[in-house]
Amino acid sequence: MLLEVKDLDISYGDKLTVTGASLELDKGEIMSIVGESGSGKTTVIRAIMGCLPGAGRVSRGSITFDGKDVLQNTPEEWRKMYGSEMSMIFQDSGNMINPIRRIGQQFIDYVQAHQPDKSKDQAYKMCCDMLTNVRLPNPENIMNSYPFELSGGMRQRVGIAMAMIFSPKILLADEPTSALDVTTQAQIIRQIVDIRDEYGVAVIMVTHNLGVASYVSNKLMVMKGGHVVEYGKREDVIANPQDEYTKQLLKAVPVIGGTTYYEQ
């Protein structure tokens, strides 16, 4: 098992925000965490990544990644894991990129920070190759561009390229399509699936959209109010939902031509 989370409680100060979250994920699996805003979805993946903001902390439970209890990691151990073993795609990758530096400057710095033995030319080639792998045309032009010169979809692909440059074992995607138009959303979701197929990476995706989640995922977790109300294989959750909240989410999936999206 690549990732095992058991009975996870997460607190901010004295306030308990997530209680009893458990999940398992193996290599090459995609799991989606679905729920309304404030349900604890992002908090769970931030805890897995070791980057809870402010006073956030894991107050109970365990997170075992690739056989190691990551809750015991030192800051230096976390730094070494970031990018190389686990990576994150943010809701709008433009927000994680310095707006006043060219993409190439930042991407090369990122590569050399993790692999200081790489020369600037070697890092540049690695970056261009990865941009090509995520279907961005003219990677040299992308490297020479500022973030504001790229569309939202192109910035997301740059974020995916940076997340995947070191072939991590797990990719955490925090609502990677919510800031995009519908057509671009479909392209980014397809890109994440392609990345999984090509690299065998495990993926946890946070989303509001149960239709999209069920279309691409092997497993589904439904959260509400900081609790996991449903968890299991995609087909089990879709065919036989146990919680009323899950049933309501399924009813909200659009029907086109008599077919719901997740049935395709």
Please report, for the chain, the start and end positions of each structural domain, with discontinuous segments joined by +.
3-85+170-263, 95-167
Q: In this structure, how many other beta carbons lie within 10 angstroms of the beta carbon of residue 87?
A: 24
Q: What is the pLDDT of residues 184-208, one digit of tens each?
A: 888 888 888 998 999 899 999 998 8
CATH 3.60.20.30 is right for the domain spanning 3-85+170-263: no
Residue 141: what pLDDT? Answer: 97
Residues 6+ apart with CB under 8 A from 161: 107, 127, 130, 131, 133, 134, 136
Residue 50: what pLDDT? Answer: 92
Helix (H, G, I), strand (E, B) or coil at 88: strand
Residue 120: what pLDDT? Answer: 96
Q: How far apart are CA 61 and CA 43, in angstroms?
A: 14
- What would the mean pLDDT of 248-260 be, rounded to a whole number? 70
Q: Which tops the pLDDT comparison, 37 or 96?
A: 37
Which residues share a beta bridge with 21? 8
Residue 5 has pLDDT above 90, yes or no: yes
Residue 161: what pLDDT? Answer: 92
Q: How does residue 215 score in pLDDT terms, banded at 50, 70 and 90?
A: confident
- What would the mean pLDDT of 22-29 be, rounded to a whole number? 95
Residue 259: what pLDDT? Answer: 54
Q: Output phi, psi for 53, to 5 deg.
A: -80, 160
Q: How does residue 95 score in pLDDT terms, banded at 50, 70 and 90?
A: confident
Residues 6+ apart with CB under 8 A from 196: 28, 30, 171, 202, 203
Q: What is the pLDDT of residues 216-245, one digit of tens each?
A: 899 999 999 999 999 999 999 998 999 999
CA torsion, points 18, 49, 1, 198, in degrees to nearest 10? 130
